[in-house]
Amino acid sequence: MALDTRTDRRPSLAATLWGSSVGKKTVMAVSGLIMLLYLVVHMLGNLKIFFGAAAFNHYAHWLRVVGEPFMHEEWTLWLVRVVLLAAAVAHATSAYQLSRRDIRARPGKYVHRKPRSSYATRTMRWGGIILGLFLVWHLLDLTTGTVHSGFRPGHPYQNVVDTFSTWYGNVIYLVAMLALGLHVRHGFWSAAQTLGVGSRSRDRALKTTANALALVLTVGFVSVPVAVMTGVVS
């Protein structure tokens, strides 16, 4: 008589969590907040361009030597990049899988659709795609210089001014920043609900915070190309 040597292996806690909709929403919320924190810091750094080329270039150089001498040159910068890449992949993957799961659960169209919910979902989906494509272009433009014909390594101020001296550079950036504002506005609110922070007593404060964050980030990022276009920064 053959013996059944198979053992029942229970899935790990991480696998169980990831397999559930709640787990995916939690991953999306946490990864989104990580990227949001980076965006706030990144925006504040971008505003240094208003203090002139020397200040902005010095700031860009400082980013490469943060943590020295304990951290070697660019180690901290690469650590941040790895964390952001992991957060972006986790965010996009969980969002995609949740979207596919939602479609499978609702193969037919509702007779009575919910306009506000549908609008928010479409905004988040297309906003995420726009931001993903923009991120690739942004890195190729101002980090590697691959799509930037006048790119000058080690001269970030001049590279920024050069990019925003072109109509297409401004259009791409402005569209992406508007998409970012909408994404942050809805995403922050959704993350708060997912992580259990939301409640009736806090709803108003959370909505105000979401709107304020979206507005500040949009205005902060958009102010740079507008300053170049108007000659304030040149």
Share of the chain above pLDDT 90, in %: 65
The pLDDT-based confidence of 203 (bands split at 50, 70, 90) is confident
Angle between helices 156-163 and 203-230 (to 10 degrees): 90
Burial 52-68 (b: 16+ CB within 10 A, else e): ebeebbebbeeeeeeee
Check pLDDT > 70 for residue 195: yes
CA distance 104 to 151: 46
* Higher per-residue pLDDT: 69 or 99: 69
Q: Give the pLDDT score at 175.
A: 96
Q: Is the dihedral of CA 86, 223, 180, 201 positive or negative?
A: positive
Check pLDDT > 90 for residue 227: yes
Helix (H, G, I), strand (E, B) or coil at 27: helix
- Report CA-CA distances (Å) from 5 to 2, 8, 11, 110: 9, 10, 18, 49
Looking at the chain, list the stretches that DSSP marks H as alpha helix, in order from N- to C-terminal side.
13-19, 21-46, 53-65, 75-105, 115-142, 156-163, 167-194, 203-230
The pLDDT-based confidence of 116 (bands split at 50, 70, 90) is low
The pLDDT-based confidence of 120 (bands split at 50, 70, 90) is low
Check pLDDT > 60 for residue 114: no
CA distance 182 to 224: 19
Encoded tokens for 42: 């990144």
* Of the listed ranges 62-71, 75-84, 117-126, 214-223, the one predicted with least confidence: 117-126
Tens of pLDDT, residue by residue over 10-43, are: 777 778 877 788 888 999 999 999 999 999 999 9
Average pLDDT over residues 121-140: 88
Tens of pLDDT, residue by residue over 163-190, are: 999 999 999 999 999 999 999 999 998 8
Check pLDDT > 60 for residue 112: no
In contact, 139 and 191? CB cutoff 8 Å = no
CA distance 195 to 29: 7
In contact, 221 and 177? CB cutoff 8 Å = yes
